Amino acid sequence: MRTVTLALLTLPIAALAGSAPLQAQHRSSSVLTFEEIDRARANSAAHTAYDIVRMLRPRWLQQREPLPATPGAARENPPLMVYVNEVSMGGADVLSTIPVETVLELHWLSSNEAAGRYGTPDGLAAIMVTLKTW
């Protein structure tokens, strides 16, 4: 009888665990999916890809390794490359020119990943922007 009671008590708990809210589910720290971007855009005043990254993955915009003789401006806008649909577009400021409603997905690459994929110079990290196709 105890086994049956215990089984009946654990059944609703298991059912609830399977329907955990999206924010409680695991998310990748190196990817921003369309669903995350769209939900954040709908619930905020985010207008650009930069706004979304700053809101959802601010660490992507922080300098990871100290660079020798880094000027103050570079510390505020860390050196990284932005690729839009696999094309190099420039630094982090490029994200401010991309309307958030055009973004399908964002990926952050470490300096090693970026160097292996794009041959980025000077150990720069990268953000890959994939735009929606219309």
125 located within any domain: yes
Q: What is the largest CA-CA distance in the chain?
A: 72
Burial (CB count <10 Å: 0-12, 13-18, 19+), residue 68: exposed
Q: Using an 8 Å Cβ cutoff, are 48 and 102 in contact?
A: no
116 located within any domain: yes
The model's pLDDT over 55-112, given as tens digits with 9 standing for 90+, comes to 999 999 986 555 555 554 444 456 799 999 999 999 999 999 999 999 999 999 998 9
Pairing of strands 125-131, 80-84: parallel
15 located within any domain: no
117 located within any domain: yes
- Report pTM: 0.71
Residue 17, number of CB atoms within 10 A of its CB: 9
120 located within any domain: yes
Query: How many domains does the chain contain in total?
Result: 1
* Backbone region of residue 9 per phi and psi (left: phi > 0; alpha: psi in -120 to 50; beta: other values): alpha
11 located within any domain: no
Contacts (Cβ under 8 Å, ≥6 apart) of 130: 85, 103, 104, 105, 106, 107
99 located within any domain: yes
| φ/ψ (deg, to 5) at 46 | -70, 130
Residue 124 domain boundaries:
31-64+75-131
85 located within any domain: yes
- Residue predicted with more confidence, 102 or 124: 102
